[in-house]
Structure 1
Amino acid sequence: MSDSTTVGFNTPWWGKLSAGLIGWLLGGPLVGLLGVGLGHNLDREIAGLARAWLHPGSRSERHRRKLVLLTTELSLAGALARAGKLAPSARADAFGALCRQLGLPHGLQDTARALFDDGLRADFPLTAVVNDFRRTFHRRVDVRYLLLEYLLSFIQQSGQPNPAQRALLIDIAQRLNISEARLSAFAQGRHARQSRQPGPGYSMEIAEALAMLEVPAWASQQEIKQAYRRQMSRHHPDKLNHQNLPPERLAEAAARTDRIRKAYETLRGLGGG
């Protein structure tokens, strides 16, 4: 696998990718679809716009982080598919499952496929892509683990991982400053969580924790803390006592509050707080 030192903007589909994804991020799926339609004829113009828009100091830093997360997940999944030598049908199934997991609108399937296919290339710049992701989320260990969570899920969807896939996943983790031992422990913990019902020792997956707090992975540390406080204030049983609710409703509120607390602890425990 060939690695370049920088990510360029000169891939044939970059105009379509930029217009479609930027449109979706800033204006919703319909604008995104319009962007995909226009992208075929706007490669040069959109590439220039993307350079400015993706600049770390721009006002769209939040959207830039979202774009980096999505593009990294999809392209690295393609690299794992290539390493696993997946049959076209298995590759398509795993790709579809990943898109559903990421919540991508159907209209962006072609754009997502372009990113995924880019990862299939023999000259895919893995080092540059992972380094950009690490720089973007250098203070968010939880998001780095979230990326690994999605990639582990992709491998699981595509069947039993082969040695080449495991080696590539270890390489990606180490480039994110996550050791092989920590990756192994994380994967084992994830498997254990999937094979048992939540109980006293239950710990959430990162995606589940983010959903519980109703925040995206690209939210800032402060936004996560604010979301935690907001959810606790909204659902805490003490706040509901004066509403004369039945005991079962209060018990539900207490259980939800416990899950909210566990969600926050999950993110903080990985370095997200």
Structure 2
Amino acid sequence: MVIDGNLGVTWVGCLQMKNWLGKIIGAAIGFYSGGPIGLVLGVLLGNAFDKTQRRRAEDALGGGSKGVLQTVFFQATFNVMGKMAKADGNVSEKEIDLARQVMTRMALNEAQRRDAMQLFNDGKAADFSVESILADLAEVIGRRASLAQIFLEIQLQAAYVDGALSVPERNLLQIISSHLGINRIQFEIMHQRIRAQMHFSAGRRANKPANAKNLANAYQVLGLNAEVDDVELKKAYRRLMNQHHPDKLVAKGLPAEMMAIAKEKTQDIQQAYEEIQKARKALKPRPA
């Protein structure tokens, strides 16, 4: 994927104008020539015109809407990570290191790393409009809820890199959620799940032996409590694996470079499920 400065923003701004231009012109001509009925017909014709113009804009850019989505997603990821790092006033080495780790996990080449770091630095600027880039992201994501969720998950991890969630960081996360259509209940569920996933992953990387705390985190990774039955457990596991499946996310517009991040999430979900299964199997009475 080639990152080109304000490419995604320019394209989105163009589409936002094209989204309503045809409708307005069609409505005006229709109403003038045919009154209320003409107005309705004019809006319908204008809507068809808008769709045609949208397709032409996508084709002119190259790669269609998926290519644009990937570009804007990439741009927003690092812009908002920069904004998150600066949210509490000071940008720590841990926050800068996380941005670099994400670039490494994405296997970016030197040119892409420079672009990503510039986006990160742009996001740190006092006059950077996070509302604008989030509006652009929401525009290209549309109803792809899984992409909105993984974007928020990445930013949650960025917020927690220093070990705690400050009030300004939480406020920024709420702004992100609002733009992407994630309500407060959904946010809290994701928040608890991601926090548990970070603890669970840290324990797994450190090869710590299984214990009650790890098991509790494993349940929270799946968004569950220990009282759920095996059927609900499997349903939750399959749902999360489906939501985070790398191939499906890339097909929906996740930048291919972010596939490694998606794979890590599915590995954590898989490991959490297996740990719970192992614990439950140990508790079942052996046949006489």
SS at match of 2:66: helix
Partner of 2:120: 116
- The question of 1:21 aligning with 2:25 is answered no
Partner of 2:218: 196
Change (3 A) 1:181 1:123: same
The 2-side partners of 1:21 and 1:206 are apart by 32
SS at match of 2:138: helix
Partner of 1:219: 252
SS at match of 2:146: helix
The 2-side partners of 1:143 and 1:104 are apart by 20
- The question of 1:183 aligning with 2:187 is answered yes
Measured after TM superposition, the shift of residue 107 of structure 1 is 3.8
Contact in 1 for aligned 2:75/2:119 (Cα 8 Å): yes
Structure 1 unaligned residues grouped into runs of 5+? 1-18, 23-42, 221-254, 260-273
Partner of 2:172: 168
| Counterpart among 152, 158, 168 of residue 162 in structure 2 | 158
The 1-side partners of 2:238 and 2:119 are apart by 25
Change (3 A) 1:104 1:204: farther
Bigger proportion of residues as helix: 2
Partner of 1:125: 129
Q: Deviations over 1:71-126 (max 9, x none)?
A: 11110111101103344422321211232344433441111011011111111121
- The question of 1:145 aligning with 2:127 is answered no
Measured after TM superposition, the shift of residue 135 of structure 1 is 1.1
Contact in 1 for aligned 2:85/2:92 (Cα 8 Å): no
The 1-side partners of 2:105 and 2:241 are apart by 11
Change (3 A) 1:161 1:213: closer
TM-score normalized by the length of structure 1: 0.55
TM-score normalized by the length of structure 2: 0.53
The 2-side partners of 1:204 and 1:148 are apart by 20
Q: Percent identity?
A: 16
The 2-side partners of 1:114 and 1:84 are apart by 20
Measured after TM superposition, the shift of residue 204 of structure 1 is 5.7
The 1-side partners of 2:238 and 2:134 are apart by 22
Contact in 2 for aligned 1:210/1:217 (Cα 8 Å): no
Q: Deviations over 1:229-257 (max 9, x none)?
A: xxxxxxxxxxxxxxxxxxxxxxxxxx9xx
Measured after TM superposition, the shift of residue 129 of structure 1 is 0.8
- The question of 1:75 aligning with 2:97 is answered no
| Counterpart among 78, 89, 94 of residue 93 in structure 2 | 89
Moved over 6 A (4+): 205-208
Task: Please tell me the residue identity of whatever aligns with 1:215.
Answer: K
Deviates more, 1:139-148 or 1:205-214: 205-214
Contact in 1 for aligned 2:156/2:194 (Cα 8 Å): no
Structure 2 unaligned residues grouped into runs of 5+? 16-53, 201-216, 223-229, 254-269, 275-288
Contact in 2 for aligned 1:20/1:111 (Cα 8 Å): no
- Backbone CA RMSD of aligned residues: 3.6
**Higher Rg:** 2
| Counterpart among 67, 70, 86 of residue 66 in structure 1 | 70
Paired residues, number = 180
